[in-house]
Amino acid sequence: MTTYRDAGVDIAAGDETVDRIKGLVRQTFTPGVLADIGAFGGFFELPSGYQAPVLVSSIDGVGTKLKVAVRAGQHDTVGQDLVNHCVNDIAVCGARPLFFLDYFGTGRLDPDVAEQIVSGFVAACKENGCALVGGETAEMPGIYDDGDYDLAGCIVGIVERDGVVDGSRVEAGDVLLALPSTGLHTNGYSLARAVLFEHFEVDDRPDELGGESVGEALLRVHRSYLDAIQALIADDLAHGFAHITGGGIEGNTSRIVPDGLGLEIDWDSWNRPAIFNLIGRLGEVPEEDMRSTFNLGAGLVAVVPPEKRAHAIAVWDAMGETPFEIGHVTG
């Protein structure tokens, strides 16, 4: 006799996981949530007050940063990474997040790990004011090795039609103002792991990292830029925003630059965080690869008219941000 558990799927572990996370997830519920955990679908009522509401959606994953989390035995931060990455992707379009759904696939379900991951979802959803309305937990032996898992997330946000930010207003002469990243965020981990784990263990503390371990540096949470973006939108200070993910600064900012215009980036205008210098040096990584793979310390770029540059900087300064100018749009 062969049971489902013998085949590698533990229904009891799944039930335990759901029981553990119900209370956590309910902490994210906003007034728009109309169904509790356990329904076949997530129900969300659109907020009132919009004249011509547009829904903005995005889906993404965490990538091989998950391998670092498994190696370090720390699983709460990657949940935050996923939510914040998705939030940033719609925030640069002018949208505010409404709700988030997750997918968690693993070879063998460990309720402790699942609870840590969901606690990260919950922390980031609460920070960004969005509801975690549902998800899928899949235990699939043979697809994932024991201990490994994958995460994906889908977010839906809302913006007035005339408030959509799509880069169509970008002009030659606009300046590029950046906000710092917290590290690699969720991109470039295949390269970073190939270089760093050839030389270090996850708990090693190279001098270049100033007392931080390799694992701590790599697992820094991908930050949310929602409030910083909305602050510039409120005063009409930006023609566009770029979330710097895979493809780097130039690759992502080019996505919001109209045809016929280009970018000139001064790559020496800011100091790169130590983790990038360490990767580049140890791996002898070509500069072209560094620029196209990593954010290099600039996680968000705002394209700002030159006459509004000082105002935009003042707004961000007042929020405790540390903006820096990295270039301009060319004609």
User: At 67, which CATH number?
Assistant: 3.30.1330.10
Q: What is the mean pLDDT of residues 260-268?
A: 97
Same domain for 182 and 300, yes or no, is yes
Q: What is the pTM of this model?
A: 0.95
- CB count, 10 Å around CB of 113? 20
**Between helices 309-318 and 226-234, what is the axis angle to 10°?**
130
Dihedral over Cα of 165, 170, 175, 176: its sign: positive
Q: Assign 3 a pLDDT band (cuts: 50, 70, 90).
A: confident
- Whether 320 maps to a domain, the answer reads yes
Predicted local confidence at residue 13, as pLDDT? 84
108, 205: one domain: no
Q: What's the pLDDT score for residue 16?
A: 85
Confidence (pLDDT) at 6: 66
Q: Who wins on pLDDT, 10 or 171?
A: 171
- Verify that 120 and 262 share a domain, yes or no: no
CA distance 74 to 218: 11
Q: Which letter does DSSP use for residue 184 in this model?
A: S
For 293, residues 6+ apart whose C-beta sits below 8 A from its C-beta are 187, 188, 191, 246, 248, 285
Q: Residue 230 to residues 49, 166, 233: CA-CA distances in angstroms?
A: 18, 14, 5
pLDDT tens digits for range 99-111: 999 999 999 999 9
Distance, in Å, from the CA atom of 56 to the CA atom of 95, rounded to the nearest integer, reads 7
Task: Please list the residues that pair with 262 across neighbouring strands.
Answer: 330
User: 103 in a domain, yes or no?
Assistant: yes
pLDDT, mean over the chain: 95
Give the whole-angstrom CA distance, residue 294 versus residue 252: 11
- Residue 190 within any structural domain of the chain: yes
Q: Assign residue 297 the CATH number of its domain.
A: 3.90.650.10
Q: Which helix (H) or strand (E) holds 225?
A: none
pLDDT tens digits for range 141-161: 999 998 999 999 999 999 999
Distance from C-alpha of 316 to C-alpha of 233, rounded to nearest angstrom? 12
| Averaged pLDDT, 172-195 | 98
pLDDT tens digit string along 28-44? 999 999 988 888 899 99
When pLDDT is averaged across residues 99-125 and rounded to a whole number, the result is 96
11: left (phi over 0), alpha (psi -120 to 50) or beta: alpha
Residues 208 and 94 in one domain: no
Range of the domain at 94: 11-163
Q: Rounded distance, CA 176 to CA 324, Å?
A: 8
Q: pLDDT tens across 314-326, in order?
A: 999 999 999 999 9
CA distance to 7, 11, 166, 204, 261, per residue, from 175 (Å): 58, 55, 16, 40, 13
What are the angstrom distances between the C-alpha of 269 and each of 163, 177, 297? Answer: 32, 11, 11
Is the domain of 225 the same as that of 110?
no
> Is 187 a member of any domain?
yes
Q: How many independent structural domains does the chain possess?
A: 2
Q: For a pLDDT cut of 90, what percent of the chain falls above it? A: 90
CA dist 226 and 127 (Å) reads: 10
